[in-house]
Structure 1
């Protein structure tokens, strides 16, 4: 049975207006969590309770619709990372090049669009228009509110990350002013009467997140989210009351030459004491960076004894490889280091 790992709880409320010493202390705490775990619980984030309640109402309202209504929001191709994804449609471990049974979640995605950046030439592959449902009536307003709140927190975290890496706090701004940002609503619950769980099947298979940083809201349901430590063991993570889970993505691992962790994580099929599948909800906001941002090792993160571990790559190229895996079910051949970690871990 997996043990629970204590993810640091960090109050960032003093970062925006605090003095130099307070900002440095917050950055040091964030940097330590980034090095040691790659996950952190952030409080003092300033996200209003009303926005959280609106998010939960939107998740409940949309996933409570009849399947035929949800399917009306399905994109015409898996290459379009928007709208509804049905149960057992994706395999997140494929983003690392590791085969697995289909994942037990349904999802709804929105994200940054070309129309939000008038006069800027952006690839439709990464900035498709959103597919909004007609019902529930308040869904779009509630989700757009959450998208804005989570995005503001993600950008605040990148300023803290920069200070923690001994860089100016605006260092990452040129890499994120036209960022590919995606909000994914996840619902883990099989339809009534459907209890088919294959051996080794996950709610969401083992993976790392693809971009810079993820802002995660999730139900406090266990078993559920698990992260892998440096020894290859899995640990349960339960969100702290009032906190947002923050984890690093592949871009920060590449920038820092793996000094910071893009932590492997997965979601177990949530079950109760009788072994019956129960519901779990989450909302993951992925702040991935500009599609044409070239990510290579940062100054000070490589030396003669620690040469760069990754070749330079643009954010757009990296995301394309990952999404062709998880959504297109093409095993990704470009994540050898992460795949080796997943395959060497405990069950």
Structure 2
């Protein structure tokens, strides 16, 4: 079975933290992070706010739905298929979600396009926006800390990767597994969220202690993962795997229809995606390429990479160029 290590990122020996992160990044691509410093009160307010939104009638939530090309607002159940982002057709996923992210207005003077840094939509729900913004800021802080640790672990120095993140495309996706009745028969191969790899640099995940999240092991089997008490799950995305020329792993994962004692149960999570600057070029770093390890990926900008992935998961077009990631699933 894959072992997902627990790493205290507040440990005083920064080199030891980097060593442990490097080992996890090479072997499993997931890690449990403690010492992150996020107050319990911020999480409590955030989960209360998201619970209130998802408990709203579907008609009310759907007022905040955006077109598929806009990665903001509400997504109803069965509106996406994450497997499409690998270029593979799959059944529609069961989850519903609400997305917010960095906006062009957050980076004045850079002239960023609103098509890349979309404007958020906010539900007219008391306390929702401040609670979500507080969690967004906390998760963003963890993601930036991890990016500095990654730079140290790769021998690039703590600023070695931050050059790609000065105006990072960051998205917080609040997810509710709004399932049918507990005894319903699901469609063949239907899951809470289909098999996929994340797209960017790093994902910071909070989730209920409810079964569902599974990662693909080296033998092609699905292994369950649950967050440790007080920990946040962190995993690597495709951009970082490509920058490291697959020295580090962007791990395939999915969310099975969550069950306890054979009965479907509710499940919540919140994934913060730190994806990098829209104009940053993703190409294997010179320190990760040599005669024995030739470059495995052609250069692509973060913006073009994200558009291709989102056209698959949200737009229904099978993503091209994900053959190396998809091969693991096949």
1:140 aligns with 2:124: no
Task: For 2:321 and 2:185, locate their aligned partners in 1 and report how far apart those are by CA, in whole Å.
Answer: 32
* Greater than 6 Å deviation, 4+ residue runs: none
Task: For 2:180 and 2:224, locate their aligned partners in 1 and report how far apart those are by CA, in whole Å.
Answer: 25
Task: For 1:116 and 1:66, locate their aligned partners in 2 and report how far apart those are by CA, in whole Å.
Answer: 31
Task: For 2:112 and 2:315, locate their aligned partners in 1 and report how far apart those are by CA, in whole Å.
Answer: 22
The aligned counterpart of 2:315 is 328
The aligned counterpart of 2:41 is 50
Residue 66 (structure 1) aligned to one of 47, 50, 57: 57
Q: Which segment is superposed worse, 185-194 or 299-308?
A: 185-194
1:296 aligns with 2:279: no
Unaligned runs of 5+ in 2: none
Please provide the CA RMSD for this pair.
1.2
Q: Which segment is superposed worse, 332-341 or 29-38?
A: 332-341
The aligned counterpart of 1:277 is 264
Task: Provide the secondary structure at the position in 2 that maps to 1:206.
Answer: strand
Residue-by-residue CA offset, 1:248-292 (whole Å, 9 max, x unaligned): 00111001110100000000001221x332100000000000000
1:251 aligns with 2:249: no
Structure 1 residue 119 displacement after superposition: 1.9
1:91 aligns with 2:91: no
Structure 1 residue 123 displacement after superposition: 2.2
Task: For 1:238 and 1:23, locate their aligned partners in 2 and report how far apart those are by CA, in whole Å.
Answer: 26
Q: Any conservation in 2 of the 1:42–1:243 contact (CA below 8 Å)?
A: yes
The aligned counterpart of 1:27 is 18
Structure 1 residue 305 displacement after superposition: 1.4
The aligned counterpart of 1:232 is 220
The aligned counterpart of 1:317 is 304
The aligned counterpart of 2:4 is 7
Q: Any conservation in 2 of the 1:90–1:102 contact (CA below 8 Å)?
A: yes
Task: Provide the secondary structure at the position in 2 that maps to 1:42.
Answer: strand
Q: Any conservation in 1 of the 2:183–2:263 contact (CA below 8 Å)?
A: no
Q: Any conservation in 1 of the 2:196–2:254 contact (CA below 8 Å)?
A: yes
Q: Any conservation in 1 of the 2:182–2:264 contact (CA below 8 Å)?
A: no
Structure 1 residue 196 displacement after superposition: 4.8
Task: For 1:93 and 1:123, locate their aligned partners in 2 and report how far apart those are by CA, in whole Å.
Answer: 28
Q: Any conservation in 2 of the 1:160–1:169 contact (CA below 8 Å)?
A: yes
Residue 110 (structure 1) aligned to one of 100, 103, 113: 100
| Cα distance change of structure 1 residues 193 and 297 upon mapping to structure 2, 3 Å threshold | closer
Structure 1 residue 116 displacement after superposition: 1.1
**Total equivalences in the alignment:** 330
Q: Any conservation in 1 of the 2:202–2:236 contact (CA below 8 Å)?
A: yes
Give the TM-score normalised by the residue count of structure 1. 0.93
Task: For 2:195 and 2:182, locate their aligned partners in 1 and report how far apart those are by CA, in whole Å.
Answer: 26
Structure 1 residue 193 displacement after superposition: 8.0
Task: Provide the secondary structure at the position in 1 that maps to 2:240.
Answer: helix
Give the TM-score normalised by the residue count of structure 2. 0.97
Q: Any conservation in 2 of the 1:189–1:278 contact (CA below 8 Å)?
A: no
Q: Any conservation in 1 of the 2:213–2:225 contact (CA below 8 Å)?
A: yes
The aligned counterpart of 2:171 is 182
Unaligned runs of 5+ in 1: none
Residue-by-residue CA offset, 1:82-103 (whole Å, 9 max, x unaligned): 0000000000000000111000
| Cα distance change of structure 1 residues 108 and 209 upon mapping to structure 2, 3 Å threshold | same
Task: For 1:33 and 1:233, locate their aligned partners in 2 and report how far apart those are by CA, in whole Å.
Answer: 19
